[in-house]
Structure 1
Amino acid sequence: MRRLAMGFIPLTDAAVLIAAAERGFSMAEGIEIDLHREVSWANIRDKVNVGLLDGAHMLGPLAIASSLGLGHVRVPLVVPFALNLNGSAITIAKDIYEEMGETGTDLSTALGAAGALGRVVAARRAAGHDPLTFAAVYSFSTHTYLIRHFLKAGGIDPDKDVRLVVIPPPFTAESLRNGLIHGFCVGSPWNSVAVEADVGRIAALGAEIFGWVPEKVLGVHARFVNTEPDLLRRLVRALHAAARWCEDPANHEDLARLLAEPRHLGLPADILRRTLDGRLHTAPGGALRAHPDYLVLNRDNANRPNLDHALWMYSQIVKAGQGEWTADAAREAISVYRPDLFDAAVGPPVPAPRPEPDCVATQFGDVFDPERFLATGE
């Protein structure tokens, strides 16, 4: 039996890793997983880098940025498994959301909410108020790119009209309560935590902004891939079996209770169950905002690392001004994602029952052309 130390941040999309460790899937592959609950994505990155963790629940853009040496020393990371797609939302402080409602704009769509926020920001600027502050969970994260797209859709310049800061997921709702920020983009269940505390309102689901957002992955150091290929294959098989179990709605009640345990997320099981089912309250006891693809843990080949997803994330890094486009960097970003390692463990992908949505802004009109971006950076 091999023991592996695996880090995670308390988020619903850590479900596959937690289930693999706690529901016998890793043991079936001769692996005992020691779960380490971490506070921030920087901690995750650094502990994988120095070998304190064998691997971790990790942001896809973090793995790419670290491998490119952006924002930190270069850390060669590899992604052999995608833990989920989608799963995020944008939450606005209760008082700001009420101001948005006073604009007369329909807040039931992401685009409508973005437009309403734009009107509020413009009115506050005209009145001489300080800029609003919004948070994402890490600079290199899909949450950063989601909130930037949301703001731009409302006519807000994310680099001039507001302040963007980084706050780790477990501290987002409390930061909203304390008035340190006016909104945030984070993975579940922290949007729902803010709603239940009556300090925030969910304005948009990530799946309403982009159709198929690459989110968390299994991130391992390149040395793991090179020195332990058989162990990695067994780990990927265990995660894939756990992902199938997590995706099945028949297991969601058990999974919600598992995630609710204090050593995991330590949050109410009913909140977690709603996030697993993609049915979130936008206000305490209020209307449900539902989306069939709110959180995808296994279906439609979600676990196979997709090279277009890696390239899309690099394109977002470039568009956010976090790095300059080069053809070499684009190819290196793609190389972080390793579908070959996934296929070696679980076999070639089965054709999905429906076409996979593109990484596009479904309501906001941005279309991503992987071949064009790879060739020209545009």
Structure 2
Amino acid sequence: MSETIETKAKAKAKAGGTRIGGIGRRQLLQLSGAAALLAAARLALPSGAFAQGAGPEVKGTRLGYIALTDAAPLVIAKEKGLFAKYGLPDMDIAKQASWGATRDNMALGFKANGIDGGHILRPKTHLYATGKVMQNGQKLPMYTLLNLNEDSQGISVSNEYKDLDVRKDASALKQAFERKRAAGKELTAAMTFPGGTHDLWLRYWLAAGGIDPDSDIKLITVPPPQMVANMKVGAMDCFCVGDPWHEQLVNQKIGYTALTTGELWFRHPEKILGMRADFVDANPRATQAILMAVMEAQIWAEKLENKQELAEIVGRRQWFNVPVADIVGRLRGDINYGNGREAKGTNLLMKFWGEGGSASYPWKSLDTWFVAENIRWGKFEPTLDIKALVDQTNRADLWREAAKTLGVAGAPTGDSRGVETFFDGVKFDPAAPLDYLKALKIKRVA
């Protein structure tokens, strides 16, 4: 619509007659058909809704989250009124008890009192879509819409190993584990969901140190908010989870952080906004509204001057119910590892947006690593068509559409971030994932 037509519509809106969006019917009829309707729509609808044409198909749905700092964009989008800004005033952001509960509620869907999407571990999209972790192997078509964050998970160990001062090199634990096992004691490592990000970080770290995560130690599943309590009663030797639980562990002097996962793989992807494919397919405008609200929240959360307020908001009882002191330090890149080691102002802080949205963009190459790594540990068959699964589940196209509407400058446009390098020097070329698997020493696949 031309600026002249819009100006004319507003100028004549003061004339009499029945009014539509501030324009009199007589004046509306004087304008050319399509242009007149667009003028009326622009004045009648809020800018966010107008940006999506007719506005979202629904006023909201329910998204789940776990009490982890990387759920912050969903919380902020709700608290700051961003969902409402884009025409979704009835969005419900609902706490989930565990990743298992998240899976079960995702299978139900909002119409059956479950959830249509939310804050999930990135590989869950692939695990749900293939039915690998679903009841009776029932496949649940899912889409990865955006990456909620990079970095800021961690691996912590019990004070039982305080004298070893374990860091990136897990081999320091190998002999200690062997002695403990020889004494008839059980070795236990905890993660949050089989095949999920924390499981894969823990497995990678142990294997790099020569410890087989399937035969040298028992891996158990523990919900994130219960990690510290279980370490306190001596139920585990080490665990991998996201923040704020490492800081809480250190503050309670129960154990110490060996490394943050950004030290294992710098700028690694972590949680995503994942949604049921049936919701996305049936509600394309609502999906765009959800994307834009969450992306705007990520932009806000990325700013250093907002970290204190961010910690205060998510720490509230209705969200995480965690002291701000357990959250804010690592949000700023201040890592208190415990065991007398601290680092201030590091680049290991949680990244929500990145340059041009690079931390939010769902790179297909990164999905490729997660699928390959789950092949490594036997979750998927080695004959799986990795590319087909990634193409089926990754909707980077929807992210790009939302970024264009938001006017994001320098937004990513491709599928690959290129070759990735891990802390132990191992490289992953997303164009040759099977070569990566062949080069690994400890694995479940030939």
Query: 1:82–1:217: 8 Å Cα contact kept in structure 2?
Result: yes
Q: Superposition RMSD on alpha carbons, in Å? A: 2.2
Q: Partner of 1:58 in structure 2?
A: 120
Alignment TM-score, normalising by the size of structure 1: 0.91
Q: After the TM superposition, which residues 1-378 of structure 1 pair with which residues of structure 2 at under 5 Å, given as runs?
A: 2-32=59-89, 33-51=91-109, 52-72=114-134, 73-98=138-163, 100-101=164-165, 107=166, 109-111=167-169, 114-125=170-181, 127-283=182-338, 287-288=342-343, 291-300=346-355, 301-347=358-404, 350=410, 358-361=419-422, 363-373=423-433, 378=438
Give how far 1:158 is off.
1.1
Structure 1 distance, partners of 2:261, 2:281, is 35
The superposition leaves residues 145-185 of structure 1 with CA deviations (integer Å, 9 ceiling, x where unpaired) of 11111111222111111111111101111110111111100
Secondary structure of 2:378 counterpart? coil
Q: Report the Cα distance in structure 2 between the residues aligned to 1:231 and 1:293, rounded to whole angstroms.
A: 34
TM-superposed CA distance for 1:333, in Å, is 3.1
**SS of aligned partner of 1:92:** strand
Q: Aligned pair in 2 of structure 1 residues 336, 175: CA closer, same or farther (>3 Å)?
A: same
Matched-pair contact (CA < 8 Å) for 1:314–1:330: no
SS of 1:161's partner is: coil
Q: 1:370 to 1:2 in 2, by over 3 A?
A: same
What amino acid is the match of 2:143? V
- Kept after mapping to 2: 8 A contact 1:310/1:334: no
The 8 Å contact of residues 335 and 346 in structure 2, kept in 1 or not, is answered as: no
Whether contact under 8 Å (1:67, 1:333) holds in the other structure is no
One-letter amino acid of the structure 2 residue matched with residue 124 of structure 1: K
Deviations 1:62-91 (A, max 9, x none): 111111221223111111111111221000
- Give the number of the structure whose alpha-carbon radius of gyration is greater: 2
**How many Å separate the matches in 2 of 1:167 and 1:277?**
27
Give the TM-score normalised by the residue count of structure 2. Answer: 0.77
Using a 3 Å threshold, how does the CA distance of structure 1 residues 374 and 25 change in structure 2: closer, same or farther?
farther
1:104: which partner in 2?
Answer: none
Query: Secondary structure at 2:421's aligned position in 1?
Result: coil
Spell out, residue by residue over 1:188-227, the C-alpha distance to the aligned partner (whole angstroms, 9 max, x if none).
0111111111111000110111123221111110101110
Between the aligned partners of 1:254 and 1:284, the Cα distance in structure 2 is: 29
Gaps of 5+ in 1: 102-106
Deviations 1:15-44 (A, max 9, x none): 111000101211210113212111111211
- After TM superposition, what 4+ stretches of structure 1 lie above 2 angstroms from structure 2? 122-125, 127-131, 284-291, 325-330, 355-360, 374-378
| Distance in 2 of aligned mates of 1:158 and 1:349 | 43
